[in-house]
């Protein structure tokens, strides 16, 4: 019989994180470095290199993979690059996201927010799933703005997810009665589809643990990077210091701690939606309907099959 030395190092593990160059993603990448190799997936090579160097300077290991989540072909190429690294992947964090304040299109003519926030991460997860070890954690960063009954989101101008179909969403078409502010329906609907994906895949792929985190409102992160300079300044220097004092608000440091805990969890929990403090919460009535979640996944797959 072989007795393992109690002081032997733990088996090496690797963690994939998308959108790791600013805000919550950057803080989470730094936290994950304490748990193993971090695969940094983002669109800006120079900013990826900065995070990689910061992790290396602290004794960790990171590997950058360039990927534009608004380009499905690039997403599939990046997933193949990650697989080629042949690392023992223990978890995947889908964190990359944008919230344009105007109607924006990809090079293919698709809605930019819906593609970057939902179609890209969905394609990335689908491509990597067969290569994830049994028991691996898959986490999507979601948002309570998908729920039309969530009062803080309504006050901010959101009217919940406005999903019609994957194809309609890619065209930038939303269910009537949405927000008068450009970009909000696209963002809310993309996050509704993120959460639907989590709830459907948790049932469909029981060998993986698929969960969601609502990180709270984090003013000053890169999510609203296309807002004007005055709003960005106010968010970073006026609102951010107040975040710990306000319900539903958070900071990148706190959010990263919650996300890292969920991503490295070994309890086997799956299909759970965690709030900004790591407590289980409920999504909208619509997204909790299994038929709706299954439809979102089926329609997304059918649409991407033609991409």
pLDDT tens across 94-124, in order?
999 999 988 899 999 999 999 999 999 999 9
Q: Does residue 26 carry a pLDDT above 60?
A: yes
**Residue 9: Cβ within 10 Å count:** 6
Does residue 159 form part of some domain?
A: no
Does residue 229 form part of some domain?
A: yes
What share of residues in the chain are helix, strand, coil (percent, to 5)? 45, 15, 40
**Residue 281: Cβ within 10 Å count:** 17
Residue 125's pLDDT band (boundaries 50, 70, 90)? Answer: very high
Contact 275, 214 (CB under 8 A): yes
Does residue 181 form part of some domain?
A: no
* Mean pLDDT along residues 45-67: 98
Domain range enclosing 196: 14-144+191-280
- In angstroms, what is the C-alpha Rg of the chain? 19
If one counts the domains in the chain, the total is 1
For residues 97, 73, 82, 86, the Cα torsion angle rounded to the nearest 10 degrees is 160
Quick: pLDDT tens for 222-266: 544 444 443 444 444 444 444 554 565 658 899 999 999 999 999
Does residue 18 form part of some domain?
A: yes
Laid out side by side, the sheet with 62-66 consists of 62-66, 37-42, 14-18, 89-94, 137-141, 209-213, 273-274
| Distance in angstroms (rounded) separating the CA atoms of residues 18 and 41 | 5
What pLDDT sits at residue 250?
58
Has this prediction a pTM greater than 0.85? yes
Does residue 64 form part of some domain?
A: yes
What pLDDT sits at residue 302?
98
Handedness of CA 268, 121, 261, 160 (dihedral sign): negative
Alpha helix ranges (H) inside the chain = 23-32, 45-57, 72-84, 112-114, 120-128, 151-155, 166-170, 184-204, 229-234, 252-263, 290-305
What pLDDT sits at residue 218?
59
What is the enclosing helix (H) or strand (E) of 61? none
Residue 260 belongs to a domain with what CATH number?
A: 3.40.50.720
Does residue 211 form part of some domain?
A: yes
Does residue 303 form part of some domain?
A: no
| Distance in angstroms (rounded) separating the CA atoms of residues 216 and 144 | 8
Q: What percent of the chain has pLDDT over 90?
A: 81
Does residue 150 form part of some domain?
A: no
| Distance in angstroms (rounded) separating the CA atoms of residues 65 and 69 | 12
């Amino acid at each position: 019989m072989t007795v393992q030395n109690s002081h032997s190092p733990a088996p090496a593990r690797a963690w994939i994180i998308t959108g790791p160059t600013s805000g919550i993603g950057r803080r989470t990448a730094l936290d994950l470095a304490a748990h193993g190799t971090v695969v940094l997936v983002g669109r800006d090579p120079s900013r990826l290199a900065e995070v990689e160097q910061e992790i290396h300077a602290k004794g960790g290991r990171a590997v950058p993979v360039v990927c534009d989540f608004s380009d499905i072909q690039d997403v599939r190429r990046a997933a193949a690059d990650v697989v080629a690294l042949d690392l023992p992947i223990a978890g995947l964090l889908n964190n990359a996201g944008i919230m344009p304040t105007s109607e924006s299109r990809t090079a293919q003519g698709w809605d930019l927010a819906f593609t970057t926030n939902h179609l890209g991460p969905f394609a990335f997860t689908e491509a990597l799933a067969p290569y994830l070890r049994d028991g691996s954690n898959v986490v999507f960063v979601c948002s309570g703005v998908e729920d039309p009954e969530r009062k803080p989101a309504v006050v901010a101008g959101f009217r919940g997810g406005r999903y019609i179909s994957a194809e309609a969403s890619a065209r930038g078409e939303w269910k009537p009665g949405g927000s008068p502010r450009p970009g909000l329906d696209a963002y809310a609907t993309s996050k509704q589809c993120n959460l639907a994906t989590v709830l459907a895949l948790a049932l469909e792929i029981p060998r993986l643990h698929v969960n969601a985190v609502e990180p709270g409102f984090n003013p000053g992160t890169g999510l609203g990077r296309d807002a004007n300079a005055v709003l960005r300044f106010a968010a970073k220097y006026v609102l951010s210091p107040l975040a710990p004092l306000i319900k539903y608000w958070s900071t990148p440091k706190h959010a990263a701690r919650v996300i890292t805990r969920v991503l490295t969890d070994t309890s086997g929990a799956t299909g759970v939606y965690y709030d900004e403090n790591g407590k289980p919460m409920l999504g909208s009535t619509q997204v909790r309907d299994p038929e709706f979640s299954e439809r979102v996944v089926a329609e997304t797959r059918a649409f991407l099959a033609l991409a």
